[in-house]
Structure 1
Amino acid sequence: MSDDVTPENEPAATDATAPPARKPGRKPLILVALTLLFAAFTIGGRYFIIELEDLVGISMDVLNVITLFGTAALLLGWAGWALLMSGWRWPQRIAVAVLLIGLPMGFLSLFRPVGGGDIDFLRFEPVWTKRAQPAALTDDAAVVTVDLKTETPNDFAQFLGREQTGSVDAQIDPEKFADSPILWKQTIGLGWPGFVARNGFAVTMEQRGVNECVSCYRIDDGTLVWLYEHPARHRDAMNLGHVGPRSTPTIHDGKVYAVGAVGNLVCLDGADGTPLWQVDLNELLEIELAETTDNDGLTVQYEANTSLAWGRSNSPLIVDDSVIIGGGGPREGTKATLMAFDLQTGELKWRGGDEMIAYGSPTIAAVSGIRQILMTAESKAMGFDPKTGDVLWTFERSGDSDGGANTSQLSVVSETDVMTTKGYPGGGGERIRLNVDGEKITPESVWYNASVLKTKLTSPVIYDGHGYSLSNGFMESTDLSDGTRNWKQRGRFGHGQILLVGDKILIHSESGTLHLIDASPEEYHEYGEIKTIDGICWNTLCLYGSKLLVRSDLEAACIDLPMLSQPAADAVAPENPEP
C-alpha cells in the first residue's frame, strides 16, 4: 500500500485554513410571537378602539403611547437577539443591530415629536423648525379706545360663558357651517387659557418669553391693543403639561381679573391693562416655588411643597363685591379651598374650606333653594356660603391633584341635583342630590357610572336632560336620568373642547378641527368640519355673536359662523343668581 493512500477507517485530514463551523443560533420564537401579538393589538386596537376603551379604559392617546414604547422595546429586543443569539458572523450581527437601533435614533436626531394632549403625540417635525412669535404691541394700539365696561348681548365675559355652563342661547345655520370663513389667524403665546369677550374685545392669558401676560385683542381683526406682563414662567416638573398660564380671565365692570399659573392674582384696568392691584398667593398660602430650566433654556417655576402638579387653572368668579378664587396650600400645613378678595382693593375677605384644590373653577348657582358656590376640590365635591366661605356640604370624589386630577366643573342638572364628571383613574359621572333639612344639606348619590362622562380636560354640556361630553377622547351622549349611555362616537377629537349653541354642539378637536353636531340623544349627526389652527387645542371656546374665538398653545383664530339667531337684546349676565 502506498504512503498517500488513506485507510477507509481513518478520517480525512482537515484543512487548517478553513473557518470553523458556526453554531446555529437560537430561533427567536418568543420575539416573533411578541411582535405578532403586539402588531395585532395595536392595529386591531385602532379598529376596535371604542370596545377597547369600554373594556380597559384605553383611549387613542394611550394606545399611541403604547405603540411608541412597545415598538422601541421590540427593536431593542431584536437588536439584542441579533448580537447575542443569532449565531451570525459578527459583522452581520453588528450591522443588523446598528440598523435596528441607529436608524430610529438618527430619525429622532433630525425630527422631534410634536406632543399632543397629555401623553399623546401628533406628528414629527424637523428639529430646525422655529416657532413664529406672537405679534408685538404697535404704536397703533395707543389710539384704540378699549371699553370693557359697556355690556352687550353677545358678551362672553367669564369662563364657559354667561352662566358658566358652556352654552350660548343662539342658533347656528347648519347648512352653511362648513363654509364658515376664518376672519383672521395668528400666532399667540404659549398657554391653555380661553378667550373671554366684551363689547368687541377679547382677553386671554399667554406666555411670552419670561413673562406671563394678560392680553387684549380687537375681535374684528385680531389686533393686539394692550398687554400686561408679569415676570413668571410655569412648567410642571415632568414637562407633560407644557409651558404657560392655565386660567381663563374674567371681565367685570370694566376690569379684568386674572390668576397666573404660579400664584399672581391681578386686577387690571380694562382700558389699557394697567394693574390696579395684585396679590401674591404664594405668600398668603405659604407655598414654595421650585425652579428648573425648560427646553428653551429659560427658567420655569412650579409649586414645590404642594400636590398641585399642573399649575393654577381656576378662573376667578365674581360674586357680589368679591372675586373668588381657588386657594390650596402646602402638603403639610394649612390649606384654603377658596379665597375671597375685595373687588376694588384686593384685600382678603375670607378663606373657605381646608381641602386641597384641583383644576376646575368655582361657580355660583342656586341648588335646592340655596345660593352657593360650587367646586370640585382635589377629592371632594363641595358647596360654600358665598358671603362667609363656610362649607355647606362635601361629597367624596376620587381624585388627587397630581396623576388622577379633577379638572371639570361641578354641573347643575336640576333644581336639586349637581353632577361631577372626571377622566383619569376613578373617573366617570355621578349625579348627586342635595337634600335640605333646615339649615343642614345632606348630599346623596343618585347614580354613578364609571363608563360615561370621563371628562379629562373639559366639562360636559347639558341639553334637554342629556349630557354631552368628550369622554376620554370620544364624543358621547348620556341620559342624565339614570347615567346610561345613549351613543359614543370615535374620531380624532382627543381632549378638545365643546360649546353648546342652541340645539347644536361645536366640537373643537385637540388637533384643531371644528365640528358641528346635533345635541340629540338619538344618534351622532355631524354637519361638517373646518380646519382651524395648529397646536394643541386644550383651550376653551368663546362665542361673541357670530365670531367664534379659538386658540391653542401656538395660534389663535376667529371664525365667522352663519347664525340663524343670536342672544336677545335684553340678555344680561346672571352674575349673582338668587334662589
Structure 2
Amino acid sequence: QVQSNGTALVAFEKATGKVRWAIGQELASYTSPLVVTMHGQKVLLYFARGGLLAVEPRQGKVLFHFPWRARIEESVNAANPVVVGSRVLLSECYGPGSVLLDIDQQWQPRVIWSDAGKDRWDRSLAAHWCTPIYVDGYLYACSGRETPEADLRCLDYNTGEVQWVQKRTGRCTLLFVDRHLLCLNEFGTLIVLKPNPQKYEEAARYEITDLEYPCWAPPVLSDGILYLRGRGRLVALELIPSRK
C-alpha cells in the first residue's frame, strides 16, 4: 500500500504491481515523469510541486533536487520539463516563471538563465499547463495564468530572449506536426502556424463550432485523425482523406 509521505515518486514492478521503490516528500503536481538519456545514462525527471527531482530509475536513487515553485500554497507545476541534451527548462505561472538548467556529469544543476526576481510582465515565459514545444533552438508556448493576460510567444531556448509575442490568444495548447504548429485555444479556435522565430506566421485558422469552452486538453493526432476536446464533447477531424 502506498502511503502519503515519502511517495512523491513510486515505481512498480510491471508484471506483479509490487512497489519497487518510493521516494520524496514532495506534494503532487500535474506533470508526468520523464525518462531521458543524459550523459549516456537513463535518468527520470519529475517536476514535482516543489521543484525538479532527478532520479536513477531502477533503484530510485535521488541524483538531485532543484527547488522551483511559487511561494503561495495555492499553486501547482503543470507543464512538463523541456529537455534538450543536458539542459532542462522548467516553467510555471504562479511565481518565479521559467529557468533553464544545465546538468553536469556529477548531476549538479547550473542555472543558465532564470526569470526569478523579475516582474511578472518581464518574465521570458510563464507556462500554465501547456508544455512548450521545442523547434530548432526555439520554444513556442502559451504564457500566462488567466485568459486576459495569456499570449502565444516564441523565445530562444538557450538565452530566454523573447522573439515575438502574439497577444489576446487566450490560453492554448500546442502540437507540432509535419513542420507546423497546431494551436487550439480555449474558445475552440484551431490555428495552424509555421514555426518562425522571426515573426508570428499564421497559415490557417478554423473555428471549430462543435466545441464549447473550455478547450484545455491538447490536440491529439493519430492515423491522420486530429482529436480536439472541449466541454463534454470530442471532435475528430480527418486531416488525411481515407482511401476508399
Tell me the alpha carbon deviations over residues 168-203 of structure 1, each in whole angstroms, 9 at most, x when there is no partner.
xxxxxxxxxxxxxxxxxxxxxxxxxxxxxxxxxxxx
Alignment-derived partner of residue 538 in structure 1: 216
Say if 1:421 and 1:453, in contact at 8 Å, map to a contact too: yes
Which stretch shifts more, 338-347 or 456-465?
A: 338-347
Task: Quote the residue 2:51 is aligned against.
Answer: 380
Q: Which residue in 1 is equivalent to 2:154?
A: 477
State yes or no: 1:365 paired with 2:83. no
Aligned pairs (5 A) from 1:190-205: none
Distance 1:539 1:481 in 2: 28
User: TM-score of the superposition, structure 1-length normalised?
Assistant: 0.38
- Give the drift of 1:446: 0.6
**Aligned match of 2:79:** 408
1:378 touches 1:399 (CA, 8 Å); kept in 2?
A: no
Whole-angstrom CA distance in 2 between matches of 1:387 and 1:401:
34
Give the whole-Å Cα distance in 1 for the aligned partners of 2:72 and 2:227.
Answer: 29
Corresponding residue to 2:195 among 509, 519, 524: 519
Query: What is the alpha-carbon distance in structure 2 between the residues aligned to residue 349 and residue 529 of structure 1?
Result: 48
Conserved in 1, the CA contact under 8 Å of 2:53 and 2:65?
yes
How far 1:419 moved relative to its partner?
A: 0.7
Q: Please tell me whether residue 460 in structure 1 is matched to residue 129 in structure 2.
A: no
Q: RMSD across aligned C-alpha pairs, in angstroms?
A: 1.8
TM-superposition CA deviations, 1:237-269 (whole Å, max 9, x none): xxxxxxxxxxxxxxxxxxxxxxxxxxxxxxxxx
5+ residue gaps, structure 1, are 1-282, 286-328, 564-579
Q: Deviations over 1:506-528 (max 9, x none)?
A: 00101111100111101001112
- Between the aligned residues of both structures, percent identity stands at 24
- Which residue of 326, 335, 338 corresponds with 2:6? 335
Which structure 2 segments of 5+ residues have no match?
145-149
- Cα deviation for residue 402 of structure 1 reads 4.7
Q: Show the counterpart of 1:424.
A: 94
Which residue of structure 1 lines up, in the alignment, with residue 147 of structure 2? Answer: none
In 1: Cα distance, 2:72 partner to 2:214 partner? 22
Specify the code of the residue in structure 2 equivalent to 1:417: R
Asked if the contact 2:71–2:95 (Cα under 8 Å) also holds between the matched residues in 1, the reply is no
Answer yes or no: is the 8 Å Cα contact 1:353–1:389 preserved in 2: no
8 Å Cα contact 2:36-2:43 kept in structure 1: yes
The structure richer in strand per residue is 2
Q: Deviations over 1:276-328 (max 9, x none)?
A: xxxxxxx622xxxxxxxxxxxxxxxxxxxxxxxxxxxxxxxxxxxxxxxxxxx
Q: Secondary structure at the match of 2:104?
A: strand
Q: Distance in 2 between matches of 1:539 and 1:423?
A: 18
Question: TM-score scaled by structure 2?
Answer: 0.87
Aligned to 1:549: 227
Tell me which of the two structures has the higher relative contact order, counting C-alpha pairs closer than 8 angstroms and 6 or more residues apart.
Answer: 1
Whichever of the two has the greater Rg, that structure is 1
Displacement after TM superposition at 1:464 (Å)? 0.2
Match of 1:444 among 86, 102, 110: 110
Residues 470-523 of structure 1 show CA distances to partners (whole Å, capped at 9, x for unaligned) of 0112010001121100000013x3222111113211001011111001111010
Written as runs of structure 1 = structure 2, the 5 A alignment for 1:72-83 is: none
Question: Residue 284 of structure 1 aligns to a residue in which SS?
Answer: coil
Q: Does the C-alpha gap of structure 1 residues 400 and 558 become closer, same or farther in structure 2, counting only changes over 3 Å?
A: farther
AA aligned to 1:520 is N
Runs of 4+ with >3 A deviation: 399-402
Quote how far apart the aligned CAs of 1:461 are.
0.5
1:506 to 179, 182, 198: 182
**Does the 8 Å CA contact 1:457/1:495 hold for their aligned counterparts?**
no
What is the aligned residue count? 228
Give the secondary structure class of the aligned counterpart of 2:2: helix
SS in 2 for 1:459: coil
CA distance in 1, matches of 2:158, 2:29: 27
392-401 or 374-383, larger mean C-alpha shift? 392-401
The residue matched to 1:343 in structure 2 has which SS? coil
Q: Which letter does structure 2 place at the counterpart of 1:469?
A: A
Preserved contact between residue 499 and residue 541 of structure 1 (Cα < 8 Å) = yes
CA distance in 2, matches of 1:513, 1:345: 44
Task: Report matched runs for 1:36-435 at 5 Å.
Answer: 284-285=2-3, 329=4, 334-399=5-70, 402-413=73-84, 415-427=85-97, 429-435=98-104
Task: For 2:99, give the aligned amino acid.
Answer: E
Equivalent AA in structure 2 for residue 502 of structure 1: D
